[in-house]
Amino acid sequence: MIKVSILYPHSASARFDFDYYTQRHMPRSIKLLSAHPGFRAVSVERGLGGTEPGSAPTYTAACFYTFETIESFIAAFMPHAAELQADIANYTDIAAQIQFNEILIAAPAAV
Amino acid sequence: MIKVSILYPHSASARFDFDYYTQRHMPRSIKLLSAHPGFRAVSVERGLGGTEPGSAPTYTAACFYTFETIESFIAAFMPHAAELQADIANYTDIAAQIQFNEILIAAPAAV
């Protein structure tokens, strides 16, 4: 099982429209990607802060897609890459950090 | 629902013992923290790479704890903080980036 993490680094001067992200962009992305049989789960999150009281989070927002394999994620994403990537400017000017991860331990067990 | 993210930034010169982390540190951490009623889920991951073929991941490893609230996580963690933090040096010399996140969308629904 793998997880794709899409992290938006915090910047005091950056723009991030959570309404658009959670009501338009991510519902559309989830609708498209979850149609693939390799889809397992998705989580969309807002960074609240670091461990020091009042500190800014390292990431303003994050999205995590769990898929059966990297190949299945790519197969799910690529047909919709142009549409989804073109929509990013509608909610943020932050360049996301994207990486692939292997899930080593999950409890409850990764679905 | 909140998620605590513990991210270990990648560094070519850093040390990270995945055997110790997945067989000793995290099982102990999960045993202790999951005993709290606010515990919901945990995921432990290894960074495989970025989107460019052959590129290094931003994070070597990551751990995510889902809890009902920040307060319940703190209540679960604090009694064991000294033991768990003292164990970190046994698997890595990387300083983790820790932050609190609010889960905005989860599918399947956050447990």
Q: Flag whether residue A73 sits within 8 Å of chain B, measured between CB atoms.
A: no
Stretch A73-93: mean pLDDT, rounded?
98
Chain A residues in contact with B26 (beta carbon < 8 A): 105
**CB environment A54-71: b (16+ within 10 A), e (fewer):** eeebbbbbbbbbbbeebe
Q: Where are the alpha helices (DSSP H) in chain A?
A: 18-20, 26-33, 70-77, 81-87
Q: Flag whether residue B57 sits within 8 Å of chain A, measured between CB atoms.
A: yes
Chain A residues in contact with B84 (beta carbon < 8 A): none
- State the Cα–Cα distance between residues A70 and A2, nearest whole angstrom: 6
Q: What is the pLDDT of residue B55?
A: 95
What confidence tens digit (pLDDT) does each residue in B6-47 have?
A: 999 999 999 999 999 999 999 999 999 999 999 999 999 999
Give, to the nearest 10 degrees, the angle between helix A70-77 and helix A26-33: 120
- In the predicted structure, residue A88 carries a pLDDT above the cut 80: yes
Residue B99: closest C-alpha in chain A: A50
Amino acid letter, residue A12: A
Are B99 and A51 inside 8 Å of each other by CB?
A: yes
Q: Flag whether residue A17 sits within 8 Å of chain B, measured between CB atoms.
A: no
Whether the bond between A79 and the residue before it is cis, its omega within 30 degrees of 0, is no
Q: What is the pLDDT of residue A69?
A: 97
Cα angle for residues B70, B99, B42 (degrees, 5° grid): 70
**Tokens 């994050």 sit at which residue?**
A62
Are A57 and B99 inside 8 Å of each other by CB?
A: yes
pTM over 0.90: yes
Interface test with B, best of A5, A69, A78 (most B CBs within 10 A): A5
Are B18 and A108 inside 8 Å of each other by CB?
A: no
